[in-house]
Amino acid sequence: MSVVSQVILQADDELRYPTSGELKGIREYFLTGEQRTRIAATLSSNEKKIVEEASKKLWKKRPDFIAPGGNAYGNRERALCLRDYGWYLRLVTYGVLAGETSPIEKIGLIGAREMYNALGVPVPGMAEAIRCLKEASTALLSTEDAAEAAPYFDYIIQGMS
């Protein structure tokens, strides 16, 4: 939920107008809108490139994942991993657009650890995969945009750690 929705819902719950501090937060949210949409556009238009680069980095760091017996061994398993990497990249864009981590929490992290544990997927490996996604993504962004996007990747990494 965006800051605008949060302010409106909270003010309505309390039967009041938004405070000056809340209005200032909304103004700041709008002022960063161009940057947030630019970041989301860059990440989404480069998804394939980012996922490929991140997976190469991950397989280089953790060749055991693609070796026989590894969770990404075989074409089907590897394709599922790449699908998940794209899904997490999409979650980052949702967080960037909203200007907060709640979409990541609600859509992506609730139950993700339990699901990966149930499937026998090493959760620390997923955290490493997100680190590789972060590296590949931020390399395509300006320094300022990378600094804005990085915390959303870090939030997922923390959730997987």
The pLDDT profile of the chain, 161 residues, written as one tens digit per residue, is 678 888 999 999 999 999 999 999 999 999 999 999 999 999 999 999 999 999 999 999 999 988 888 878 888 888 888 888 999 999 999 999 999 998 888 887 766 767 777 667 777 788 999 999 999 999 999 999 999 999 999 999 998 87
Inter-axis angle of helices 47-61 and 33-45, nearest 10: 70
Distance of alpha carbon 43 from its chain centroid, rounded? 10
Q: Residue 93: CB partners within 8 Å, gap ≥ 6?
A: 39, 40, 43, 44
Report the pLDDT value the prediction gives residue 75, as an integer from 0 to 100.
85
84 C-beta neighbours (distance < 10 Å), count: 17
- The verdict on domain 33-160 having CATH code 1.10.490.20 is yes
The percent helix, strand, coil of the chain (3-state, each to 5) is 80, 0, 20
Cα–Cα nearest to 130, from 91, 73, 78, 74: 91
Both tokens assigned to 81: 């991993």
Report the pLDDT value the prediction gives residue 1, as an integer from 0 to 100.
64
Specify the pTM. Answer: 0.88
Q: What 3-state class would DSSP assign to 2?
A: coil
Residues 94, 101: Cα–Cα separation, whole Å: 8
